[in-house]
Amino acid sequence: MPTDALMMDKGQICIAALYSHDTWEEYWEGTLKRDNLNVGTLTRQTVMPMIALGLVKRVNLIVALPWVRTEASGGQIAGVSGIQDFGIWLKGTALDLQAGPGKLTLHAVAGFSTPASTYLADYAPFNLGFGCKEGSLRGILQYQIGNGPYIRGMAAYHLRGNAKIERNYYYTNQGYYSDKVNMPSAITYGATLGSWLFNNSLQIEATYDGLNSQSGHDIRRQDVGFPSNRMIFTRIGGFAHYYLPFVKGLGIVAAGNYILTGRNVGQSTMLTGGVTYQFGLWK
């Protein structure tokens, strides 16, 4: 993943297929936590194929193209489905050294994403994505003792371009005669405690992470969301990856996370499962 400290060896490729089921019944309208009978329970399902490839020593290429479906249990508004954003990341090892009983590594990740279909960004909370281009730069620092426990921290800056909407006037804190929406940049961060077990066949992690938009505005009372809302959340989660002993390179993934606090986001619970398969393309 673009957020972990794992690196594929040169010529090695890992193909993953992940399914996520994300639901919320309550959300924050600014700082006010509430429910909404016109939405009921909002469900977002995501199917995401991913590929990680070791291009050269210390440099990996990661690509992803998720398909998303949204729907609600209440109200009269229909959900949507389709391909969301194409994402590509280059991940490099900047530092790898022995420090006391463990190893200290530092990784830098540069990413870019862009809408892969003409979905409607101005359709919150049913929209597939933000509808804008995004560039990101992330740093990942990890300290691992032997082949066992490790602690990791990461931080990233996300620079977003404009989103295009299907109307020529909108109001946030003031009125704009335009179909272009200036999207706020954001900072993401996280801390992870994990370990490898059973001869490196099982990886487990516990994570605390969050997102903080650098500008934007709150959802107005009884209004719908908008792409440039100021979104903030903190979240806890768990992750496990088990490599099956009877098929070399085949693994299964299970994860879950829950939003603790937020602003202009839903208090969601997300469950994820999937498979991975790793093999060599060249020596």
Is residue 187 within 8 Å of 157, Cβ to Cβ? yes
pLDDT of residue 116: 95
**CA–CA distance, 191 with 231 (Å, rounded to integer):** 20
Highest mean pLDDT range out of 99-103, 111-115, 223-227, 245-249? 111-115
Average pLDDT over residues 43-51: 96
pLDDT of residue 100: 86
**pLDDT higher than 80, residue 164:** yes
Tokens found for residue 151: 């602690």
**CA–CA distance, 227 with 157 (Å, rounded to integer):** 18
The CA distances from residue 189 to 33, 90, 208, 234, in Å, are 23, 18, 9, 9
Q: Report pLDDT digits (tens) over 178-194.
A: 999 999 999 999 999 99
Q: Residue 46: which of 16, 73, 84, 14 has the closest Cα? A: 84
Domain ranges of the chain: 12-280
Q: Report pLDDT digits (tens) over 74-119.
A: 888 899 999 999 999 999 999 999 988 999 999 999 999 999 999 9
Tokens found for residue 4: 């972990």
**pLDDT higher than 80, residue 177:** yes
- pTM, 2 dp: 0.91
Is residue 217 within 8 Å of 228, Cβ to Cβ? yes
Average pLDDT over residues 146-156: 94
List all residues 6 or more positions away from 234 whose beta carbon is below 8 Å from its beta carbon: 208, 209, 210, 259, 260, 261, 262
**pLDDT higher than 80, residue 30:** yes
Average pLDDT over residues 11-29: 96
Residue with the bigger pLDDT between 256 and 223: it is 256
List all residues 6 or more positions away from 141 whose beta carbon is below 8 Å from its beta carbon: 104, 105, 106, 107, 152, 153, 154
pLDDT of residue 283: 73
Tokens found for residue 170: 């909108």
**pLDDT higher than 80, residue 151:** yes
Domain 12-280 CATH assignment equals 2.40.160.40 = yes
Q: Report pLDDT digits (tens) over 53-65.
A: 999 999 999 999 9
Q: What is the 3-state secondary structure (H, E, C) of 54-110?
A: EEECCEEEEEECCEEEEEECCCCCCCCEEECEEEEEEEEEEEEEEECCEEEEEEEEE
Give 113's Cβ-side CA count (13 Å radius).
24
Q: Read out DSSP for 217-273? A: BPPPTT----TTB--EEEEEEEEEEEE-TTSTTEEEEEEEEEEEEEESSB--EEEEE
- Average pLDDT of the chain to the nearest whole number: 94
Tokens found for residue 189: 């961060």
Residue 147's pLDDT band (cuts 50, 70, 90): confident
Q: Report pLDDT digits (tens) over 185-218.
A: 999 999 999 999 998 999 999 999 999 999 999 9
Give 150's Cβ-side CA count (13 Å radius).
26
